[in-house]
Structure 1
């Protein structure tokens, strides 16, 4: 590989613009006030506390849970005000402190017989523990990762046990193990209903998908959430990293779902969030039982972005191919790793992206992580998707600037397809419309309801 030296010239300048966990099928479909095309990002409302983009986005993400009663704005802002900006340890300490407070409040309410208050406190504690754990992945052996994640899951399970929506904690057969899931039902009648499968992406846990599940229940779907390799319990406890061939994950999930008597196997929708905007389309391309697909937001080719950034910055020759770049990264080049580590020391987003990437891919270095992540491509595969597909993008999504990945996925689809771009006029332009669930759910579920025969 002769291009290695040239590749490092602009690495330090370009690394902060490498997209992280997302991106986004005939003419664009617009939600209320949606942009006809992706526009320049607007100011993030959560910057009223943090100027650091990564901290501001994660605060917005946590505040967004208040839509479903799983956070509260005052609690979030008070916690954020105590955090030293850019300090991962401070982030953990303060969110963990808040989570402990509301876990204790829930315990007190339950002991006094106040089940609803206990449930509400437990939901919020689960969110705050999950937020606390978010930046801990720089040391995969840190015991706080599993400890704090476990506290989040336990608080969530204590909450849903007090809730009124029927559910099951399920284990989905997968290779020589099982994948964890929750199966939520409209009621306990056992009637066969359309199913919505919802999955997370690069950094999520399935408990965060509860608002999506409850919105689906309200619209008449039974809902299955799950975690696959690289996600939630599967990476933290089973230590199974991400895999690019997600069709081998979706197939057993659909096998499990289709085998249930309360699932209408002719109406199974799949919704992938964040990097799930790659994972879900990859699974749907090989799974004819999926009848509608939401890529939220769509991701087409990870390596394409990396290579394009390098070439546009003059750090890689124009004739360099993705295969060449991946081959070089697989040699674990010290110059690439040194450049990335140097950038991580000065940029919170770059540090988080690479620390989490190495964690969820079980990679020993940034180069090893990027080499594995470059396998995530829908080139030659997107065309195989046959079900109606919705690709979503946000006009202010800092993980997919200008909607490049979403547009690429849309352009390569040959199925019935729609592209939905959310403007930031009312705060919906962020990644996956986090912090704007009302607009997000209205537009995306309306599209899904129409394709699944659920309208009205």
Structure 2
């Protein structure tokens, strides 16, 4: 059925509200699933997370960058000084100020290196890599903007220059995938070549694998070798190879695990998979088809994009409330002009909606919001989650604006038939945000402790 004009506006507004699927505790380890606690955490987060920006999307991305200070890959003063110069909601201002900071820190690193101060140079390069990555974040409204690849390359170059000065053994790897390769980093506890449990970590809707370095270093501390990679729609794969996202992520995970099993320094009986943000859908999708995965973290859990959207439409009433998920998907596939106009209008009035749809069109390599949403609706674990056989941890944040009330995470958890655990982080100590960004101490403690238990890595 075709919705009327009023319903089109309602759908656009509801999509604006629900960009829940983007990508995506009274004490640090004791979590609550109580809905009142979640509501209170959402309210407190709204008052506490803005810091410099009132705009929620800018505030969240600043928090994300500040979170890198936990691993020494950003610094608080540099972040706050940069943010204070940015015009609220202005994507160009965001780019120019973060780029200016990145250039300054990169140059400082070069000077330190030339003077023989290798540690200082390494630290500066890690920070510069973070700031270049932050600068590039809002550029995706024009997929042909040359600054996207230029700035991403500067970020990767700074990161690799830092790695070359660091003392953790690593390899830059290429993972065979269909008729090309996927980029990856393989980090090693030591250079002995001894087989060790492997932790595979992947990002989601808007990340690059260099941002996963703090996770990898936490894994190294605990005795894991760590493999990070980028798949279709992510990092280098979308920016340089122009390969867009795909919903059937099992076809990505399979060659990644194949690659890992061909290495002599991997314990073939202990391979864990950790998916972050939209990786909370992608990793479970891969694990459902690959019994070689022995432990899984869905961080945060995502079950069904279309179902979540449809539920909100039904609650909104009107003629659109009678649409089925298939109706909605088929209608979006017609690329309706009215829908695109309504979404574009919403994008003009909301920074988060603008970013979501611009990035969505970029990573799916499509030209309209309707085309993006039609493809995104394929991202579903309905009838698939039950096939996951390994122990699984599903996480959520009580104040996560991408998954209000942890609905997606709880739905994934409810459909699992394997050994499972659900952790919902409250915001009492700042861990309620999306993927616990800005609270890595609590995040790593809970998630790695669970993983160590399942992988036999205690102590």
User: How would you bin the TM-score normalised by the shorter chain?
Assistant: over 0.9
Cα separation, 2, equivalents of 1:12 and 1:233: 31
> Could you say which residue in structure 1 is the equivalent of 2:231?
228
Q: What corresponds to 2:29 in structure 1?
A: 32
In 2, the alpha carbon distance for the partners of 1:157 and 1:325 equals 44
Q: Distance in 1 between matches of 2:324 and 2:12?
A: 21
Question: Aligned-pair distance for 1:6?
Answer: 5.9
Q: Is the 8 A contact 2:233 2:245 kept in 1?
A: yes
Q: Distance in 2 between matches of 1:365 and 1:347?
A: 17
Match of 2:62 among 59, 66, 75: 59
Could you say what secondary structure the match of 1:245 adopts?
A: coil
Q: Is the 8 A contact 2:19 2:356 kept in 1?
A: no
Equivalence for 1:297: 300
Aligned equivalent of 2:11:
11
Distance, in Å, in 1 between the alignment partners of 2:222 and 2:346 is: 46
Q: Is contact 2:26-2:426 (8 Å) kept?
A: no
TM-score (structure 2 length as normaliser): 0.96
Alignment match of 1:184 (pick from 187, 190, 193): 187
Q: Which moved further from structure 2: 6-15 or 323-332?
A: 6-15
SS at match of 1:326: helix
Q: How many residues align?
A: 453
SS at match of 1:10: helix
Separation of aligned partners in 2, 1:350 and 1:304: 19
- Pair 1:169 & 2:166 matched: no
Within 5 Å, which residues of 2 pair with 1:237-386? 237-386=240-389
Greater CA deviation, 379-388 or 14-23?
14-23
| Partner Cα distance (1:35, 1:16) in 2 | 28
Aligned mate of 2:200, from 197, 203, 227 = 197
Q: SS of 2:45's equivalent?
A: coil
Q: Is the 8 A contact 2:303 2:380 kept in 1?
A: yes
Query: Residue 43 of structure 1 aligns to a residue in which SS?
Result: helix
Residues 1:241 and 1:344: Cα distance change in structure 2 (over 3 Å): same
- Seen in structure 2, the aligned counterparts of structure 1 residues 4 and 175 have a Cα distance that, compared at 3 Å, is farther
Equivalent residue of 1:249, what SS? helix
Would the aligned equivalents of 1:110 and 1:118 in 2 still touch at CA under 8 Å? yes
The answer to whether the 8 Å contact 1:198/1:226 transfers is yes
Distance in structure 2 (CA, Å) of the matches to 1:318 and 1:48: 38
1:108 aligns with 2:111: yes
1:138 match: 141
Q: Secondary structure, in 3 states, of the residue corresponding to 2:63?
A: helix
Corresponding residue SS for 2:386: helix
Name the structure 2 match of 1:436: 439
Q: Distance in 2 between matches of 1:224 and 1:167?
A: 10
Q: Please tell me whether residue 451 in structure 1 is matched to residue 454 in structure 2.
A: yes
Contact kept in structure 2, 1:120 and 1:159, CA below 8 Å: yes
CA contact (8 A) 1:272 1:280 kept: yes
State which of 413, 417, 427 in structure 2 corresponds to 1:414. 417
- Alpha-carbon deviation of 1:319? 3.5
Taking the aligned partners of 1:29 and 1:182, their CA distance within structure 2 comes to 36
Query: 8 Å contact 2:26–2:428 — kept in the other structure?
Result: no
1:393 partnered with 2:396: yes
C-alpha separation between the residues in 2 aligned to 1:184 and 1:22?
28
5+ long unaligned stretches in structure 2: none
* Closer/same/farther in 2, CA of residues 6 and 380 from structure 1, 3 Å limit: farther
Q: CA deviation at 1:11?
A: 2.9
Q: Which blocks of at least 5 consecutive residues in structure 1 are unaligned?
A: none
Q: Is the 8 A contact 1:30 1:421 kept in 2?
A: no
Q: Which residue of 2 aligns with 1:43?
A: 45
In 2, distance between residues paired with 1:440 and 1:306? Answer: 28
Task: Calculate the TM-score normalised by the size of structure 1.
Answer: 0.97
1:65-80 matched pairs, under 5 angstroms: 65-80=68-83
Q: Which has the higher contact order (CA 8 A, sep 6+)?
A: 1
Higher helix share: 2
Q: CA deviation at 1:30?
A: 8.4
Residues 22 and 298, structure 1, Cα contact 8 Å, conserved in 2: no
Mapped to 1, the partners of 2:123 and 2:228 lie a distance apart of 21
Distance 1:9 1:234 in 2: 35
2:93 pairs, out of 77, 90, 93, with 90
Shift of 1:363: 1.1
